[in-house]
Amino acid sequence: MHHKADVRIILTTLVLLSSLLLSGKVASAQPERFDVFTPIGKYIVKGDAECLAAWFDDNLDLSVITQEGNASRNQAKRIIKEFFDSYTPREFVITHTAEKANMKYALGNLSAGGENFTVTIFITTKGDGYKIQQLKIERM
């Protein structure tokens, strides 16, 4: 019988697994919480107004440098596209996030067109999705 060998293999496997778990190398069985700002941040740094606008609510509060006010999704998409055309995004880093009840908030720094901007994003959960309620892009 290879009973001792089987026990040794099982013990070796358990030791390896526990060391991997302690080192954080094995993904936990719990799914990672979805971070809505990850895709939004990607679209900002890519300068992709079309994909970014898919996150806009039907109407939102928009402030881009000197233009500000309430805008429809299509108006906001056009304004953001003009901004990205004028200021090619290079880097976008979210510096702060917060959430309360059905609202999420992010503050980030955008390097675009050789200038630096502060970006503020307010999101609400609607049904089973997220919608941008407010987007501000201001010079630092």
Q: What is the pLDDT of residue 27?
A: 46
Domains in the chain: ranges and CATH: 32-139 (3.10.450.50)
Query: pLDDT grade, residue 28 (50/70/90)?
Result: very low
Q: What is the DSSP letter of 33?
A: P
Predicted local distance difference test score (pLDDT) of residue 42: 96
37-85 tens-digit pLDDT = 999 999 999 999 999 999 999 999 999 998 899 999 999 999 999 999 9
Residue 19 pLDDT more than 70? no
Instruction: Note the pLDDT tens digit of each residue in 91-128.
Output: 999 999 999 888 999 999 999 999 999 999 999 987 77
Give the pLDDT band of residue 30 (cuts 50, 70, 90).
very low
Question: What torsion do the CA atoms of 80, 96, 33, 18 make, to the nearest 10 degrees?
Answer: 140
Q: Kindly report the number of other CB atoms within 10 A of residue 71's CB atom.
A: 21
Inter-residue contact 59 to 70 (CB < 8 Å): yes
